[in-house]
Amino acid sequence: MKKIKSPEELKKIKAEARERIYGKEKLRVRVHMGTSGLASGAKEIYDFIKSELEKRNIDADIIGTGDMGYSFAEPTIEVTRPGSDAVVFGNVDKIKADEIIEKFIKCGEYVDGILPVNYKSIY
């Protein structure tokens, strides 16, 4: 990594990173992998989704993050279909993950287990 020499360079990195994350119309999956998530099997779900999406020829960014705080519903994942708002699903096991891929990711059909955004964000 190159050292950031000025606030302008930081801005440049920010713009590039935002472009990488949000710039393209691409499926994005975030798997919440803090201690609570991992303890409930989030790593397995991460690996499962990664390999299954590859197998089913679906191009996606898969990102491991910290927990959102929904300990009662771990593991949780967030799925953003191109051009749509993010949707968070709770209690995701492999069967649920498969259903999410087949119904929601492929067809945009909702499945049970959605955790709506119940907070205000500062962004």
Q: Examine residue 20 and tell whether it contacts another protein (CB under 8 A).
A: yes
Q: Which of residues 14 and 94 has its CB atom nearest to another protein in the complex? A: 14
| Residue 57 beta carbon to another protein: minimum distance, rounded to whole angstroms | 12
Rounded CA-CA distance 88/30 in Å is: 9
Chosen residue from 43, 53, 70, 93 binding another protein by CB under 8 A: 70
Rounded CA-CA distance 102/118 in Å is: 26
Classify residue 84 by its DSSP letter.
S
Of 49-68, binders to another protein (CB under 8 A) are: 63-68
Q: Examine residue 100 and tell whether it contacts another protein (CB under 8 A).
A: no
Q: Examine residue 34 and tell whether it contacts another protein (CB under 8 A).
A: yes
**What would the two tokens of residue 100 be?**
């999410």
Q: What b/e readout covers 87-98, taking b as 16+ CB neighbours within 10 angstroms?
A: bbbbebeeebbe
Task: Give Cα 66 to chain centroid, integer Å.
Answer: 11
Q: Which of residues 35 and 51 has its CB atom nearest to another protein in the complex? A: 35
| Residue 108 beta carbon to another protein: minimum distance, rounded to whole angstroms | 4
Torsion angles phi and psi, residue 100, rounded to 5: -65, -40
Positions in the binding site for another protein (CB under 8 A): 1-7, 9-10, 13-14, 16-18, 20-22, 30, 32, 34-36, 38, 63-73, 76, 78, 81-82, 84-85, 90, 105-123
